[in-house]
Structure 1
Amino acid sequence: MVYQLIALDMDGTLLNSQFKITKGCQEAIKEASDLHKIVAISTGRSLTEMRPYLDDLKDVRYLILESGAVVYDLKEAKILYQKTFQPSDIYKIHQAYLKQDMMIHIFMNGYSYATKEHMYQMDKYQMGKYQETFVHNNSGIENVDEFLQTHLYEIEKVNLYHQSPQLREKSITFLNDLDVTKACVEVSSLELSPKGVHKGVGLVHLCEELQIPINQTIVVGDSHNDKDIMEIAGLAVAMDNAIEEIKAIADEVVADCDHDGVKEAIEKYLIKGAD
């Protein structure tokens, strides 16, 4: 099979453990682009959270953002696809937030927001490794109730950061009847997206835009929120540092994020058929 497009997850995949994109990965992306292959990003991050990396991704045009809620064209500075929550969904998520001491992370219109009081104590919510980049790339909010009410129809994704996996399970139980997409990521985080939205939906919309058959795509990932997109791609590639659930559904496994696994995937599976 000759593949036309590869979609790369960010954290734990394209980014190494120091949250950097290595020269090797940058060079592989450029080589693929020079061969008229499409390298896209597929991430849970917002557009604002992606901006610090765009200088290293000059050969990337398309972003699947917020776990599939948004597809963005960097060249045209245009949203190609966008999906928001129903107001009733936000009400229920807000109730879950109020039930325990957790951190809420809200995504909309290319930006992401969190309560100021929590942004400097992310260790408490098992997200300490992200604190430096988080503080620089997210806006602080004073009052969650007012913010949600003001932006009720605009919200595309919500992350709930818990103090432990056990407390996350309590939120999952409370939200059991809520018909939205749920993904467990990191140690104790819960990603919530509008009904039917996941990274795979973003890939489908991107492929429709580019008129590329879905079976001519490659996806590289490492975590729970990569499961749906890996199941529909033509070739599913897991990082060596991926969770076992992802490795189990992958067609191939490459090196971990600290040993240029993405470079390996691009060269071996995307470029291979371009010679």
Structure 2
Amino acid sequence: MVVCCALHNLLQQRGDLLEEEEEDVEANQPGVAGEETTQQEEEEEEQEEEEQKHHPDTEGLAAARVKHHFFRVLLDSALRNLATASQATSASPPPGQHPARGGSRRQKANRRLESPIDRIQPQDNFNIQQFTGVWRLIAVGSECSYLKMNNHKLEAVTIRVTNQDGNIRINTLQKLDGICWDIKQDYQKAETVGRFSRKNRGLTTDIVIADTDYSNYAILFLQQRRKITIKLYGREIDVNEAVQLKFRQLVLNSNIPEIFIYRFPQYGFCNVADEFHQLDDDFGKS
């Protein structure tokens, strides 16, 4: 609508200028029939006409041409703007409707960077019920800053896994300052069997049960903030050498240097905590 009004005004202005130019030309033309002129005046007019034939008013013509060219440019510009506005109007959705957002969301999902843990394959035919029970932490491969600073004072760790309708609950029992603590964490199953995840206080933790024979060992991959940690568990306090070599190779394949493989103590386990030292880590989570 704004473009149409501008175009109309330009056409009106150009028409007014053309009328003014016609009036100027008529004003400069010889006298109209019916006017009474003396013979001398007629001779002077004829003389002026002869002079105009030989010396035309070039300045007036040039000014008229400049005006014509100027408004021709403005007219062309207005026509282009009108065409652009018409295309934009036809491309926009009708009032009250919004463009479909599903496509953009799918594109955004496709552009999402692959997470390191997405490349980890879970245990074939993972059986959650066979995985439940007590496991002892044997070793950890991680570049975690806490382990780098505190690996000299590690405590033995026991976990107890229970099946929660396909989800898993992990109770971690560990001594802190000589007191046994029981920390509960719930993980929700993912679409792929053998993958679990939890989100607490804005931090997401992903777990993949990568390799286990259910009766002797289990190798778990954990991810927080796109950083991978690999844990080796055993039903007993140790596992055979073949499993240890397998664990070591998985750590190196994850670009974690061997120097960051930490062995946990095989003594000092605690199996139960009193009611005052049980922590529900999912309480008040967001």
TM-score after normalising by structure 1: 0.20
Computing the radius of gyration from Cα coordinates, the structure with the larger value is 2
Q: Larger relative contact order (C-alpha < 8 A, sep ≥ 6)? A: 1
